[in-house]
Amino acid sequence: MNRVLDIVIAHNGIAHSSTLRAAGASDSMVALAVARGDVARIRNGWVAIESAPRELVNAVAVGGRLSCISVLRMHGIWCADDRYSHISTSRRPGRLRSPIGGPLGNPARWGLKVHVIAGRHDPSRLVDTIDEALLHLFSCHARDDVIAYLDSALNLGLTTRSRLAELPLTDTYRAYLELLDPAAQSGLETKARLGFRRRGIGCRSQVHIAGVGFVDLLIGDRLVIECDGINWHSSARAHDEDCRRDLELHRLGYIVIRVTYRQVMFDWANIDEVVRGYVSRREHRWSARHRRAGLGFRAA
């Protein structure tokens, strides 16, 4: 049995010397495994197998550990893809190496965003904690993105309002916490909710309507907004269920607007125009005519 290789494989393909020693692998055993080509040294004190996750290997090679949305994605938190690996480190920028050796230079060249922190890192850790990763969001992303990621983390039960309140935030960033809605099922819903809020249009998240189930957003009494993500509702069965729900909502007197990821993220002006039109005509409210027809009082 190759003790060193087994230990490294059990730790996502990458391990620190302290981890190896704690598991019973001596420094001489590690040196032998490196000489045989079972593992490779990627930085002083670190070894990895060839198939180790590239993000983890790059973080260690640079001199830090994964952080920010790179960590949040690992936990299933909704995050837009900014195409960067986010790394936190206590090392001065001039002391950081590129993933292949030599000075790091411009981190973007290597697909990296570097968060420099005060104090010292535990050298044996590969990734930041959820709370550490969430803290880096505030200085790295736009307000609406931060709120979307925090909503997702709350909805998944990966943090709490009390834990977020304990983060060392400036007054500006602390104000973000007042806009959170743990009911939001995706960042897309959060983005839409905040977009309507900027127009003074209030809406509720994940409202239950009898005979339909939960809808993403409800504006006023009867204007339903359903947000479909990139990978959402791709099967024929899911599409049929969406159509059934939409038809039932129309039967009950609701107005349904179904929007896509692309529309919310890149074509918000058109959504804004249509919704503001409904609201200005007060079509988002049940009218006396609707009441006489027996509609209304179905959302809870």
Contacts of 173 (CB under 8 A, 6+ apart): 138, 146
| Domain contains 197 | yes
| Domain contains 24 | yes
| Domain contains 156 | no
Q: Closest Cα partner for 113 from 85, 152, 83?
A: 85
Helices (H), the chain: 3-10, 17-22, 27-36, 54-62, 68-74, 130-140, 143-155, 161-165, 171-174, 187-198, 236-251, 261-266, 268-280, 288-292
pLDDT of residue 194: 97
| Domain contains 59 | no
Rounded CA separation 60/236 (Å): 43
| Domain contains 221 | yes
| Domain contains 157 | no
What residues make up the domain containing 32?
1-51
Rounded CA separation 95/103 (Å): 7
Residues of the chain with pLDDT under 50: none
| Domain contains 256 | yes
Rounded CA separation 168/177 (Å): 13
pLDDT of residue 8: 93
The bridge status of strand 223-228 relative to strand 255-260 is: parallel
For the stretch 177-206, pLDDT in tens is 999 999 999 999 999 999 999 999 999 999
What pTM value is reported for the model? 0.87
pLDDT of residue 101: 84
**Percent of the chain with pLDDT strictly greater than 90:** 76
The CATH number assigned to the domain holding 280 equals 3.40.960.10
Q: Would you call 94 exposed, middle or buried from its count of C-beta atoms within 10 A (0-12, 13-18, 19+)?
A: exposed
| Domain contains 286 | yes
Q: What is the dihedral of CA 53, 124, 81, 143, to 10 degrees?
A: 180
pLDDT of residue 117: 87
pLDDT of residue 299: 66
Rounded CA separation 142/67 (Å): 17
pLDDT of residue 93: 74
Given a contact cutoff of 8 angstroms between Cβ atoms, the answer to whether 7 and 23 are in contact is yes
pLDDT of residue 148: 97
pLDDT of residue 232: 52
Contacts of 142 (CB under 8 A, 6+ apart): none
What is the residue whose two structure tokens read 């060392």?
168
Contacts of the segment 225-234: beta carbons below 8 A, 24+ positions apart: 225/192, 225/257, 225/259, 225/275, 226/256, 226/257, 226/258, 226/259, 227/186, 227/188, 227/189, 227/192, 227/259, 227/261, 227/264, 228/188, 228/258, 228/259, 228/260, 228/261, 229/186, 229/188, 229/261, 230/261
> What end-to-end distance do the CA atoms of the chain give, in Å?
61
When divided into structural domains, the chain yields a total of: 2
Among the candidates 32, 51, 70, a domain finishes at 51
